[in-house]
């Protein structure tokens, strides 16, 4: 296997910021008279802030102007940023740092591709900014997952062909985006949800360099 680059998602792969997103969205939903359950919140994973808000508003058939939506989205984001400022390197999932270290020792490039517009803030809190050869966040793309733009852009910054890249994702939209970009993908979570992935594990700590190298890369032909 000729793996040249490994691209990590952020939320649910490197750290659990999903919890803070849920708390912020739930708080906003409550102000609108909407009960946001953890089950429904699964639909928001890997989805842009604006699209997430639309999904929440749809629960009660609320129609708002784009300006009103922007104000609500910014309110949610402020709460989220307040939450993540309490994060430290102790919040990094077990197994992440050893895996990145092994990839670097093997000469495999590492990158982060997250739809979050706060990815740089989170990485700074975790002390991980220097660990990636390329970082692409929600501020750098037009189309969010499941569109492949974020991954094709990341591959371009790495100067690595998509078929030599492997993505680690925890959301169905992210797995779909990786496959649409012509990349192989490891899913973290439920195999029934992440069935498009080439391999599904329950936690990032189950991923090793040897396991990644055993995956047959997507054939671009």
Residues with active-site annotation: 9, 11
- Backbone torsions φ then ψ of 55, nearest 5 degrees: -65, -40
Return the sign of the alpha-carbon dihedral for residues 203, 205, 211, 216.
Answer: positive
CB 34 within 8 A of CB 50: no
CA distance 58 to 133: 39
Q: DSSP string spanning 178-206?
A: HHHTT-EEEEES-TTTSTTSSEEESSGGG
Strand ranges, E, within 2-80: 5-8
Tokens of 144: 């969010």
Contacts of 125 (CB under 8 A, 6+ apart): 84, 85, 87, 88
**What distance in Å separates the CA atoms of residue 162 and residue 172, rounded to the nearest whole number?**
19
210/188 Cα distance (integer angstroms): 17
Rounded Cα gap, residues 169 and 172, in angstroms:
8
């Amino acid at each position: 296997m000729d793996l040249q680059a490994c691209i990590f998602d952020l939320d649910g792969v490197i750290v659990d910021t999903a919890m803070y997103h849920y708390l912020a969205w739930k708080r906003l939903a409550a102000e609108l008279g909407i009960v946001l359950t953890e089950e429904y919140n699964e639909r928001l994973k890997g989805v842009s802030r604006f699209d997430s808000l639309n999904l929440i508003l749809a629960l009660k058939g609320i129609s708002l102007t784009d300006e009103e939506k922007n104000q609500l989205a910014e309110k949610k984001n402020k709460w989220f940023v307040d939450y993540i400022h309490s994060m430290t390197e102790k919040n990094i999932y077990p197994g992440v740092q050893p895996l990145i270290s092994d990839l670097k020792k093997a000469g495999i490039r590492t990158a982060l591709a997250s739809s979050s517009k706060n990815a740089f803030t989170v990485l700074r809190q975790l002390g991980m900014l220097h660990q990636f050869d390329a970082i692409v966040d929600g501020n750098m793309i037009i189309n969010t997952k499941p569109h492949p733009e974020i991954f094709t852009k990341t591959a371009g910054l790495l100067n690595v062909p998509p078929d030599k890249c492997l993505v680690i994702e925890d959301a169905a939209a992210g797995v779909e985006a990786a496959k649409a970009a012509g990349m192989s993908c490891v899913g973290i979570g439920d195999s029934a949800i992440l069935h498009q992935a080439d391999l599904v594990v329950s936690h990032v700590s189950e991923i090793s360099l040897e396991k990644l190298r055993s995956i047959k890369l997507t054939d671009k032909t």
